[in-house]
Amino acid sequence: MNPENEIVKLCTAGMTAEMEGRPDEALALYEEAWRAAVTPTERCIAAHFLARHQDSDQATLHWNQEALRLADVVDDDSVQDFYPSLYLNLAHSHELLGNLAEARRYYDLAAARVDELPEGLYGTRVRNSIGRHRQQMDALEKKRIDDE
């Protein structure tokens, strides 16, 4: 992602506000990014961050689906390293809503694309989260089988 892009700047400012304990300001910045976004790449980025600040799990799922839908129409490689995170967030949304088969499917899609993640803190966090969630899904499935 281009750090000079206005949408990326707004979302980065939103992340800073989140980390500093200002969630309302973060949401306002993400909403501003969504309104200002023009290209599918920009809209994908803004939707990804908007998903983090919804009032319901269903609304979060909606924004995660929107981010993935937009990523799928991008006609260059600008969001390829974003897919593992998009799939991870979509999987988590399904898990929270009790859609465990869909959650598993998206966790597996995320795991299949971890090689596209950049090196560094972001890539490490996403890789670790995918691994942790897949282990939790494995444990849930094993428990379900054992209980039958």
Q: Write the DSSP string, 66-101.
A: HHHHHHHH--SSTTGGGHHHHHHHHHHHHHHTT-HH
Rounded distance, CA 8 to CA 57, Å?
25
1 burial type by CB count under 10 A (0-12 exposed, 13-18 middle, 19+ buried)? middle
Write out pLDDT tens, residues 19-63: 999 999 999 999 999 999 999 999 999 999 999 999 999 999 999
Write out pLDDT tens, residues 118-145: 899 989 999 999 999 999 998 988 887 8
**Residue whose C-alpha is closest to residue 41's, from 3, 14, 71:** 71
pLDDT of residue 20: 97
Q: Where are the domains of the chain?
A: 1-56, 79-148
Considering the entire predicted model, what is its pTM? 0.90
State whether CATH 1.10.150 applies to domain 79-148. no
What is the band of 147 on the pLDDT scale with cuts at 50, 70, 90? Answer: confident
